[in-house]
């Protein structure tokens, strides 16, 4: 039977006055989950109403009037209403049990989903904690290293200051140099223990390693100091130079940062007064650079090396080579 055919039988079914075959069809329909019919059943009172049921129940349960009169003597007594009420109550309990089971299943599913989400969040938080612990350990190591370097720099600065102070006591004319040395101590604290590695950086990690190694191995090679030019104060550097070679190696550090797209340039002043432009470069993140420079006329004519801002030609570092003795 269809949904529309079963709708008129719901009142008799709720009252317990429906024939067994028709009641079985209604129960099967309700078990399929029809929410409209379930709501109709729950909204009706259980058992026969005082008016004897609705028209549909009488149509489904009572025989025609003529047939009833013809068999009135032989008709069995009607089934007690209590039996129909029990069936209706049983169906109601079954439906409520199904609804409760459905709600319990949905609740268990929802709890499992929440538990899975909490587990995933716990795993993510544990991974994040591990990352933070690793970062903290690395930071602690770096802090220890910096503290060690600071103490070493402080000891070196103290030693330098004592040496300058002792010299000042011996010669009063060195008082002005003592004040200048105190200004240089701040730079020396960052450069202490770096001098030994500067030569290694000068001869490794460049494009022309063979020429640099040959230059460093040449007897009589000289280290020309590059001094900062005001207003620059903290930058510095060196040039590895030999008059018999055609290659020099420039190393600079703590160069002021440049705007995006700007560069530094190397300028070379020769003995005859000419000025040649060398290569352009951008320093590394710490303002350092190691740069091999090949000279067209040989290093014997080199008199000065400058590092300038390429956009404005403003000098930043400069250093002069030792004049060669005249032949």
pLDDT tens column, 198-216: 554 454 454 456 666 767 6
Taking the C-alpha atoms of residue 264 and residue 311, their distance in angstroms, rounded to an integer, is 8
Residue 285: which of 254, 248, 315 has the closest Cα? 254
Give the CA dihedral 133, 138, 142, 148, nearest 10 degrees: 80
Both tokens of 294, joined, read 């090949």
Taking the C-alpha atoms of residue 137 and residue 19, their distance in angstroms, rounded to an integer, is 82
pLDDT tens column, 275-306: 999 999 999 988 999 999 888 877 778 899 99
226 band by pLDDT with thresholds 50, 70 and 90: very high
Does 313 have pLDDT greater than 50?
yes
User: Which pLDDT does position 47 carry in this prediction?
Assistant: 52
User: Which pLDDT does position 287 carry in this prediction?
Assistant: 92
Top-confidence residue, 301 or 78: 301
User: Which pLDDT does position 87 carry in this prediction?
Assistant: 76
User: Which pLDDT does position 182 carry in this prediction?
Assistant: 81
Side-chain-side CA neighbours of residue 8 (13 Å):
10
CB distance 276 to 240 below 8 Å: no
Where exactly are the structural domains of the chain?
3-118, 196-320
**Phi, psi dihedrals of residue 277, rounded to the nearest 5°:** -85, 130
Both tokens of 156, joined, read 């070196």
Taking the C-alpha atoms of residue 177 and residue 163, their distance in angstroms, rounded to an integer, is 12
Taking the C-alpha atoms of residue 206 and residue 212, their distance in angstroms, rounded to an integer, is 8
Taking the C-alpha atoms of residue 166 and residue 173, their distance in angstroms, rounded to an integer, is 13
Both tokens of 225, joined, read 């100091």
User: Which pLDDT does position 93 carry in this prediction?
Assistant: 85
Which residues have CB under 8 Å from 42's CB, separation 6+? Answer: 92
Q: What is the mean pLDDT of the chain?
A: 78
Does 63 have pLDDT greater than 50?
no
Taking the C-alpha atoms of residue 317 and residue 278, their distance in angstroms, rounded to an integer, is 14
Look up the CATH number of domain 196-320: 2.60.40
User: Hey, is 211 helix, strand or coil?
Assistant: helix
pLDDT tens column, 244-279: 888 889 999 999 999 988 999 999 998 888 899 999
């Amino acid at each position: 039977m269809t949904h529309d055919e079963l709708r008129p039988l719901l009142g008799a079914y709720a009252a317990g006055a429906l024939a067994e075959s028709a009641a079985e069809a209604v129960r099967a329909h309700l078990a399929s989950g029809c929410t409209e019919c379930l709501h109709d059943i729950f909204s009706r009172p259980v058992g026969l109403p005082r008016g004897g049921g609705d028209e549909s129940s009488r149509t489904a349960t009572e025989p025609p009037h003529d047939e009833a009169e013809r068999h009135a003597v032989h008709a069995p007594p009607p089934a007690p209403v209590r039996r129909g009420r029990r069936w209706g109550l049983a169906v109601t309990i079954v439906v409520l049990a199904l609804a409760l089971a459905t709600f319990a299943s949905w609740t268990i599913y929802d709890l499992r989903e929440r538990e899975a989400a909490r587990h995933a969040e716990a795993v993510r938080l544990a991974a994040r904690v591990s990352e933070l612990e690793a970062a903290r350990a690395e930071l602690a190591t770096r802090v220890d290293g910096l503290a060690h370097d600071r103490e070493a720099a402080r000891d070196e600065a103290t030693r330098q200051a004592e040496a300058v102070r002792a010299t000042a006591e011996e010669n009063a004319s060195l008082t002005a140099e003592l004040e200048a040395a105190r200004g240089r101590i701040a730079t020396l604290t960052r450069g202490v223990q770096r001098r030994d590695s500067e030569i290694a950086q000068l001869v490794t990690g460049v494009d022309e390693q063979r020429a640099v190694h040959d230059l460093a191995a040449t007897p009589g090679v000289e280290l020309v100091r590059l001094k900062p030019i005001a207003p620059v104060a903290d930058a510095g550097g060196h040039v590895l130079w030999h008059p018999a070679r055609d290659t020099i190696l420039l190393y600079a550090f703590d160069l002021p940062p440049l705007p995006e797209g700007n560069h530094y340039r190397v300028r070379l002043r020769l003995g005859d007064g000419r000025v040649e432009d060398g290569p352009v470069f951008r320093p590394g993140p710490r303002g350092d650079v190691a740069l091999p420079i090949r000279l067209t006329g040989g290093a014997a004519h080199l008199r000065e090396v400058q590092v300038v801002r390429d956009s404005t030609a403003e000098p930043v570092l400069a250093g002069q080579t030792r004049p060669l003795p005249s032949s």
